Amino acid sequence: MSEWRARLEKGYQDFKSGDFLEQKALYETLGTHGQNPDIMLIACADSRVDPTDIFNAYPGEMFVARNVANIVPPAGNDEAYHGTLAAIEYAVTVLEVDVIVILGHESCGGIAGCLAGLGETGADGYVGSWVSILNDAKNKLIANNPNAENLQFEMELEGIRQSIRNLMTYRFVKDVVETGKLKLQGAYFGIHSAELMLADDDGQFIKV
């Protein structure tokens, strides 16, 4: 048996005889009545940043979409297929979540790629094209902070702020935010020491 297959089967067996047994009633309820999460999380696909681990969530509690560099693209009229936007639309209009949390993180490869110019020539595949969504934010950041000591960290925070601004370009988000029924929240996870920061209303990140 291949290593990955053995790993999947072993993990599943351990889950089935462990967490699942402990939460059997919860799984039954969720299976019968469906989900009703209050929180949506948009996180990076990075394997080191598991949002339900970081926030100690149980099944059914958080609706999660993950992509490269936790980016929300701005509204546009293109014909592309938008997985992240489909998840956001569902969370806001059907699940009626209370908050959308954009969770950025330390040493993000997607942000590093954007800073390194990935996507600027249009020749860097899907990843380049995806992270180039942040090019305007990156160029502004660099113009305003020409000698920034920690550009990677500053860009990780700016990427979160930009995705929150981009969320507001969707009517179905903006309308609900303006009624006060939906909050948009920035968050940042430091991998080394599991440090968490949350953004205030001015977009300043403060340690929890």
User: What whole-number distance in Å separates Cα of residue 27 and Cα of residue 15?
Assistant: 13
Which residue in 59, 183, 18, 45 sits closest to 103, CA to CA?
A: 45
44 binds Zn ion per the rule CB under 5 A: yes
Q: Beta strands 183-190 and 205-207: pairing type?
A: unpaired
CB of 118 to Zn ion, least distance (A): 13
Residue linked to tokens 């598991």: 50
Least distance CB 58 / Zn ion (angstroms): 25
Per CB under 5 A, does 106 bind Zn ion?
A: no
Residue 75 C-beta: closest distance to Zn ion, Å: 23
- Among residues 41, 46, 88, 173, which is the contact residue for Zn ion, using CB under 5 A? 46
Interacting residue with Zn ion among 42, 71, 88, 108 (CB under 5 A) = 108
Minimum CB separation of residue 105 from Zn ion in Å reads 6
Cβ nearer to Zn ion, comparing 108 with 187: 108
Counted residue by residue, the chain has a size of 208
User: How many residues sit in the footprint of Zn ion (CB under 5 A)?
Assistant: 4
Please tell me the distance from the alpha carbon of residue 166 to that of residue 142, in angstroms, as a whole number: 20
Question: Would you say 108 or 182 has its CB closer to Zn ion?
Answer: 108
Q: What angle do CA 11, 127, 184 make, to 5 degrees?
A: 75
Interatomic CA distance for residues 111 and 105, integer angstroms? 10
List contacts with Zn ion (CB under 5 A): 44, 46, 108, 110
